[in-house]
Structure 1
Amino acid sequence: MWYLVGDIGGTNLRLAAVDMAGNLQARSAHPTDGLTALPEVCAALCAKMGSAPEGVAVAVAGVVVDGQVRMTNADRSISRDDLAAACKVAPSEVLLLNDFEAAAWSLATLDPAKVTYLQGGPEAQPGPRVIIGPGTGLGVGALVWHGNRPTAVPGEGGHVRLTPHSAEEIDYFRALVTLWPEVQLGDQLAVEAEAILSGTGMPYWYRAIAEARGEAVDLEGAAAIFAAAKAKSDANACRAVELMVRYLGGVAGDLGLVMGARGGVFVTGGVAQQNEWIFDDAFLAAFNAGGRHSTWRKELPLGLCQDPDFGLLGARNSLFVHRDQPLPD
């Protein structure tokens, strides 16, 4: 007996078999490139395991509506019925989750050895927990408890409002909405947070800063921009990442305040895990900049979650709780 779990982001499609004790076993990984059909790779994993799973839970980077999800940053749709047919299970045995709903579920069994704390310590603290993840997009989720039972709170916190924080930044935002008008919120000089706080948004943000300064756009792709900022070899890359870090810290702190996250705020995702150097004193200062509630924010544990399997583990945890099965230790 086994379960199938999946984590489908804007860049990678990952599956795993889970035994009844909760251990990840056989794995399957593919690029999220529009060429790989999720039902087919699920069927292939089932064939490898030699039987149908007892249940399926798949986390997808998009909004789940009526058993279907269209991915936010990839041109594909996924349905519960298609997955059920591919895995030869009833549709009622398939859970479709938002990717950061699953990320929130992962906090129920968080391994402190895979967290680097910027504030607070590894001892688990009671209270709600928030997870925010700059990756291909920007994901946000929260975990709360009803008695002893954890429950994930899904949402689209990655699309909250960002506005300029200084006169200098006004020109950058104007250039950004000219380059990428879809991310502007209303007719104001405001953009959704994902437009800057993600691997997809960073090239637009870098270009906006360079063009606002009347300078050449010398770099392509988020990885090159972060590398140049780390090496201090490109002034516009340095400024783009510096501002991104401040915005990310502020948004993370705001979300911690909104949820009353006494259990901690955790940062993860591909951009975060590949660029741990950005989480410096400026990030922490922005997280704690809460005016009259700065002291309150300083009491929130704040950690970098370095577990690459957080999505798969969250899908597993959701499935176990859904089936009234005890969570793994």
Structure 2
Amino acid sequence: MTSELLVADIGGTNVRFAIASINDENDISLNNINMCPTENWLYLEDAVNDYLSHVGKRPARASIAFAGPVNSDLVTMTNGTWEFKQSELASYLNMEEVKVMNDYCAHACSMPLLKGDQLVQIGGGEVAENGNMVVLGPGTGVGVGALVSVGDKWKAVASEGGHVGFSASGDLEKEINRIIADEYHRVSIEEMVSGRGISNIYYALGIINGTHNLRLHPAEINKMASDDNDPDSVQAIKIFSGMLGSFASDMAGTFNATGGVYLAGGVLPKLKDFFLDSNFREKFEENEKLPFVKDIETHLIMEEYPALFGAAAYYSGMFL
């Protein structure tokens, strides 16, 4: 028997919807996938209702991944304006049940499902059977989620780890941090390892190298690196990649992620060629306080909609 539910991945920049079909073996397929800018709507309920009107069906259940803490009835977007009360959603959407989870809880729930060309391994390492896993995602902000092994099931753990403090490694990173710190009360990982992080790094390099760079959109920086081999653009992406490697190492240690570290988010697939040729893995392995991370596999997620798969999987019997 196959059941259907609405799944959604609500981010600060884009919203993604699909109708998920799940059979008795917990095989998941996504249909009617749609992605639109979040700013098209003032409220989550309006975005959902517009999508369901478009597809012409309204499942009885929904699983919604949301870019913000889901610790209370009132849920607020970290890098956006949307907010809602979980207790009111089912009524507003005319559904029997609506589950809401942090978006990187949903990413975490997708990890046991991903395989083959949905992943690209970066460097060496190996996966410990039933080992904890962590997923990181540079995008509008930085998402962090984990799966903790509990017997024969998994427990998804939400995290706002993207807001921990940034720790510079090496003289150049320290100089970049000094420049960015002049504009922030506290420099978090998100100011360096995200879309705007690339812009911040590029801007700081303009001061350091005397090229006086503006804060360009990361897509423009990537284009200049790819098309023109612009030195500051190429260097900004490489520095960003190394910073991500250090942060990924810290999170691997935090969650004892012997089952692997997975990289998601909207930024990395666009930078794939530069990223895979970067010093990410070298920086991941350099922490002398965490020598065991050298044995952990790291993967770039190439699946376009991992959070939608994870939101659907949350209804399966795999998770506590």
TM-score band (shorter)?
A: 0.7 to 0.9
Deviations 1:107-129 (A, max 9, x none): 13222331011134898843111
Q: Which amino acid aligns with 2:50?
A: A
Q: Note closer, same or farther for the CA distance 1:268–1:20 as it changes in structure 2 (3 Å cut).
A: closer
Worse-matched range after superposition: 49-58 or 103-112: 49-58
Separation (CA, whole Å) in 2 of partners of 1:279 and 1:43: 40
Offset of 1:218 from its aligned partner?
A: 5.0
Q: Note closer, same or farther for the CA distance 1:41–1:102 as it changes in structure 2 (3 Å cut).
A: same
Q: Note closer, same or farther for the CA distance 1:89–1:116 as it changes in structure 2 (3 Å cut).
A: same
Separation (CA, whole Å) in 2 of partners of 1:299 and 1:197: 23
| 1:188 alignment counterpart | none
| 2:83 alignment counterpart | 77
- TM-score, normalising length from structure 1? 0.86
2:204 aligned residue (184, 204, 208): 208
**Alignment map for 1:1-329 (pairs within 5 Å):** 1-21=3-23, 22-33=28-39, 35=41, 37-47=43-53, 52-90=58-96, 93-120=97-124, 125-179=129-183, 181=184, 184-185=185-186, 191-218=187-214, 220-231=216-227, 233-277=229-273, 278-280=275-277, 282-291=279-288, 293-294=290-291, 296-321=292-317
Offset of 1:304 from its aligned partner?
A: 0.7
SS of residue in 2 equivalent to 1:108:
helix
Worse-matched range after superposition: 226-235 or 281-290: 226-235
Q: Note closer, same or farther for the CA distance 1:169–1:119 as it changes in structure 2 (3 Å cut).
A: closer
SS of residue in 1 equivalent to 2:267:
helix
Q: Is the 8 A contact 2:200 2:215 kept in 1?
A: no
Worse-matched range after superposition: 53-62 or 39-48: 39-48
Q: Which amino acid aligns with 1:13?
A: V
Deviations 1:276-321 (A, max 9, x none): 1213351111011121643x22211111110011010111111334
Separation (CA, whole Å) in 2 of partners of 1:168 and 1:118: 24
Separation (CA, whole Å) in 2 of partners of 1:163 and 1:57: 36
The alignment of Structure 1 onto Structure 2 pairs a total of residues equal to 313
Q: Which amino acid aligns with 1:287?
A: F
RMSD between superposed Cα atoms in Å: 2.5
SS of residue in 1 equivalent to 2:195:
coil
Deviations 1:144-198 (A, max 9, x none): 121111111111111222133233443322221223x2xx43xxxxx21110111
Q: Note closer, same or farther for the CA distance 1:66–1:218 as it changes in structure 2 (3 Å cut).
A: closer
- TM-score, normalising length from structure 2? 0.88
Separation (CA, whole Å) in 2 of partners of 1:55 and 1:320: 13
Separation (CA, whole Å) in 2 of partners of 1:87 and 1:280: 46
Separation (CA, whole Å) in 1 of partners of 2:211 and 2:51: 50
Offset of 1:256 from its aligned partner?
A: 1.1
Q: Which amino acid aligns with 1:16?
A: A
Q: Which amino acid aligns with 2:139?
A: G
Q: Which amino acid aligns with 1:17?
A: I
Q: Note closer, same or farther for the CA distance 1:323–1:107 as it changes in structure 2 (3 Å cut).
A: closer
SS of residue in 2 equivalent to 1:201:
helix
- Provide the identity percentage: 29
Q: Is the 8 A contact 2:155 2:319 kept in 1?
A: no
Separation (CA, whole Å) in 2 of partners of 1:121 and 1:214: 40
Q: Is the 8 A contact 1:252 1:265 kept in 2?
A: yes
Q: Which amino acid aligns with 1:15?
A: F
Q: Is the 8 A contact 2:133 2:260 kept in 1?
A: yes
